Amino acid sequence: KAGVTQTPRYLIKTRGQQVTLSCSPISGHRSVSWYQQTPGQGLQFLFEYFSETQRNKGNFPGRFSGRQFSNSRSEMNVSTLELGDSALYLCASSARAGPTGELFFGEGSRLTVL
């Protein structure tokens, strides 16, 4: 059974650009969550989606957006990139929504903003 797949794994952007990150969950999983990981702030929750609906959103500016498609694949977008957006972005999928579902994490997309 394939795990959570995130693309691209590494990318470099410059300030002001935008970026789209993709996440393919484990087959059959309908819940997808996104987290940002930085050395200073640690792991911070971005979004949670279940069956194409956003169930929860973290405390991030409106430049951060996401969506989930009917096949459960998810994308997140960051517009007008800032240096502070440099981070590892982790996607996790779960078989069910809510706190009891086990999260399976992908290896992440490492974004560097210059």
Partner 1 sequence: AQSVTQLGSHVSVSEGALVLLRCNYSSSVPPYLFWYVQYPNQGLQLLLKYTSAATLVKGINGFEAEFKKSETSFHLTKPSAHMSDAAEYFCAVGGEGNTGKLIFGQGTTLQVKP
Record the tokens describing residue 74, joined without a space. 């998810």
Q: Which of 11, 22, 58, 60 is close enough to bind partner 1 by CB under 8 A?
A: 58
What DSSP character marks residue 39? T
The stretch among 18-26, 61-69, 78-86, 90-98 that binds partner 1 (CB under 8 A) is: 90-98
Record the tokens describing residue 112, joined without a space. 């560097």
What's the closest the beta carbon of residue 26 comes to partner 1, in angstroms?
A: 12
Regarding 4 and contact with partner 1 (CB under 8 A), the answer is yes
Of 28, 20, 21, 12, nearest to 90 by C-alpha is: 21
Strands 42-50 and 53-57: antiparallel
Regarding 55 and contact with partner 1 (CB under 8 A), the answer is yes
Q: Which of 11, 13, 20, 45 is close enough to bind partner 1 by CB under 8 A?
A: 45
Strands 19-24 and 31-38: unpaired
Q: Which of 31, 68, 72, 74 is close enough to bind partner 1 by CB under 8 A?
A: 31
Q: Is the peptide bond before 39 cis (omega within 30 degrees of 0)?
A: no
Residues that bind partner 1 (CB under 8 A): 4, 31, 33, 35, 42-45, 48, 55-56, 58, 90, 92, 94, 97-108
